[in-house]
Structure 1
Amino acid sequence: MYPVENTISLAIPDIRPPSPVVWSIMIPAYNCTGFLEETIKSVVSQFSDYSAVQVEVIDDCSTDANVEEVVGRAGKGKVSYFRQTTNVGSLRNFETCIKRAKGKYVHLLHGDDRVKPGFYTKMETLLNSDDKIGAAFCRTNYINDNGEYLFTQDAETNTEGVLNDILLRLGEHQRIETPSMVVRKSVYEHIGLFRDVTYGEDWDMWIRIAASYPIAYTPDVLAEYRRQANGSITSQKILTAQNIYDLEHVMQLTRQYFPEEKVNAIQRKAKLYYAAYAIRTADKLWHSKQHVKGALNQIKAAFHFSKSPVIIMAAAKVLVKILIRYK
């Protein structure tokens, strides 16, 4: 069981005087220089006038290349660069992004992801439709290391506008990829920064926003999330299944945001969803890495969440593959 404690960051975003900047496109980056040029170009191609646009790369002390040089080449004078003095980790780097944002709308765009033409125009239209709307997001394409299409996220709805049940949907599982989400700066100033959860911090944030503000949506596919072949599958969090226990921690932290009469049912669905996710991860660990201990840890975590017949059957299939050394 992941220990439950109050891990809300005590740091508060800087609240600055009104700014003429409309867009703050903040690009957190760490050792993703091979993709960063694509990311920057996907942004700068969308604006002809930068008088109300801030684009900035926040480098968490990358060691893979000269990031400032890449920013200068790809940004062509339209993108600024800030480097942390020491490596602070992804959460604190996100915090720096939000604190340095000057605009009305904040877009956190990971240094290996991309946006498609029309993203900012569409998001601004959605957010401008009602001042009460706290955030807006779109549908996402998934791409590989080479920028090639993998698949498209299922649509939340076929119509555009405020999603009235997004809080309940988010309770069941994470369904908003970070590059697809834009948040008003005032919302971050109100609800605070990302909480200290290494795996699932974005899920926690979107739930907190949805509990306090309407969220708008478009089914248009305008963001691209990169799934790297050599991603985090062998990270210590995955091998120990701490990623699953982190998700449980998010569920415990966010119980307070759901209707009391619905929260248990919502979180049962979440546990079943992430139990299935853990089994899929176990299968991947075995097939791609033959990592028996990591696969068994994921299966154990899955059973911690759910012992439904579906989960037991799926786990049994993975265990048989391991026993017979099937690859």
Structure 2
Amino acid sequence: MPQPLVSIICLCYNHECFLPEALDSVLAQTYPNLEVIIVDDCSTDNSVRIIEEYVQRYPQLRFISTGSNLGNTRAFNMGWRASHGQFILDFATDDVLLPERVARQVEQFQRLEPEYGVVYSDSEYISDESEHVYFHSQKYKAAPDGDVFAEVLGRYFICPPTMLIRREVFEELDGYDERLAYEDFDFWVRSARKYKYAYLPQVTTKRRLHSHSLSSGWYRKGNQLLASTVEVCKRAAALVQTPPERAALALRLKYEARHAYLTGNFNEAEQLLQLLKQTSGMPFLYRFIRQLNRHKINLGFLREGYHRLRYRQ
């Protein structure tokens, strides 16, 4: 029986320092039936030259240039729509795959029922110098299986680059939403409403931590990441069906509203607090925060002080 085709979509933007290690890890996969598509989102460093050298040495690699800088969601969609695999792996070329990564996750999929759309796993976080930082499972200990919709509403527990995804999930969702500044939360909410998730308790991936990463400026005033979070929370509110799901969404809304307010994102905070009121009602603390927010009384120093104490910054 032939092994199902797996498409690895390698997404690159200014990864010249990490590209060789990343692409070598793809080429080192023990799984035999791979389609590898490298999508460069108009890098301004030497990434394209490195990619072209790899394509020349390894003709099985396909190279797509976006032509102009499109951002992660649009660039990835270009890649997966050009692919043919039964399973899709979204791989940023500053990360690293362990050699058995694809083989182990396909093997797990083959033991699962068709309603399982995603297999995810543990990962090792590494520095820019490829040194060990910590394991995902050390920080996010519970990794649920099955119906994870309420879990993805309430908290972060999936390391995104560890996911292997059935093609039909992307077809059902029409890929990532290109109107959003980031894809993870929206993908989890929309896919987990219909498909089950399975956890593989093994380290399959090395995820690189950067001081200049997308998430490092999450609550910077005016950042589109927070605006996208507000939009996804609105979508989630329309999808909740049970009291536990509603409670999980309320937990998320409280967290995001607090941070939005304390970072001076008053418009986003108001939207989140209004959604909290509609979803589960507003406890006294959040009614108080709403009044402070409406008068733009900035207590951001409390958040900054907490972070200095906790992280010694």
TM-score normalised by structure 1 residue count:
0.74
Distance, in Å, in 1 between the alignment partners of 2:15 and 2:180 is 19
How much does 1:73 deviate? 3.5
Distance, in Å, in 2 between the alignment partners of 1:156 and 1:321 is 22
Distance, in Å, in 2 between the alignment partners of 1:236 and 1:156 is 23
Which of the residues 67, 79, 87 maps onto 1:105? Answer: 87
Cα RMSD (Å)? 3.5
Does the CA-based 8 Å contact 1:134-1:213 persist in structure 2? yes
Deviations 1:35-79 (A, max 9, x none): 111111111111374xx2111210111111152434534884042
How much does 1:112 deviate? 1.0
Give matches, 1:134-173, under 5 Å: 134-154=117-137, 157=142, 163-173=145-155
Identity of aligned residues (%): 20
Which of the residues 26, 42, 51 maps onto 2:25? Answer: 42
How much does 1:137 deviate? 0.6
Does the CA-based 8 Å contact 1:142-1:151 persist in structure 2? yes
Give matches, 1:290-309, under 5 Å: 296-297=263-264, 307=285
Does the CA-based 8 Å contact 1:197-1:250 persist in structure 2? no
Cα–Cα, structure 1 residues 24 and 269, in superposed 2: closer, same or farther, change >3 Å? same
Letter in 2 for 1:35: F
Map of 1:128 onto structure 2? 110
Q: Secondary structure at the match of 1:134?
A: strand
Cα–Cα, structure 1 residues 116 and 305, in superposed 2: closer, same or farther, change >3 Å? same
Q: Secondary structure at the match of 1:33?
A: coil
How much does 1:223 deviate? 1.6
Cα–Cα, structure 1 residues 183 and 232, in superposed 2: closer, same or farther, change >3 Å? closer
Segments of structure 1 that go 5 or more residues without pairing to the other structure are 1-18, 283-295
Count of paired positions:
285
Map of 2:282 onto structure 1? none
Does the CA-based 8 Å contact 1:30-1:61 persist in structure 2? yes
Cα–Cα, structure 1 residues 183 and 264, in superposed 2: closer, same or farther, change >3 Å? same
Distance, in Å, in 2 between the alignment partners of 1:99 and 1:121 is 23
How much does 1:178 deviate? 2.4
TM-score normalised by structure 2 residue count:
0.77
Q: Secondary structure at the match of 1:145?
A: coil
Tell me whether 1:32 sits opposite 2:15 in the alignment.
yes
Does the CA-based 8 Å contact 2:16-2:45 persist in structure 1? yes
Map of 1:3 onto structure 2? none
Give matches, 1:82-121, under 5 Å: 82-121=64-103
Cα–Cα, structure 1 residues 197 and 45, in superposed 2: closer, same or farther, change >3 Å? same
Which of the residues 53, 59, 64 maps onto 2:34? Answer: 53
Give matches, 1:54-69, under 5 Å: 54-69=35-50
Cα–Cα, structure 1 residues 249 and 44, in superposed 2: closer, same or farther, change >3 Å? same
Distance, in Å, in 2 between the alignment partners of 1:191 and 1:180 is 19
Cα–Cα, structure 1 residues 29 and 111, in superposed 2: closer, same or farther, change >3 Å? same
Distance, in Å, in 2 between the alignment partners of 1:317 and 1:261 is 31
Cα–Cα, structure 1 residues 84 and 297, in superposed 2: closer, same or farther, change >3 Å? same
Distance, in Å, in 2 between the alignment partners of 1:144 and 1:99 is 32
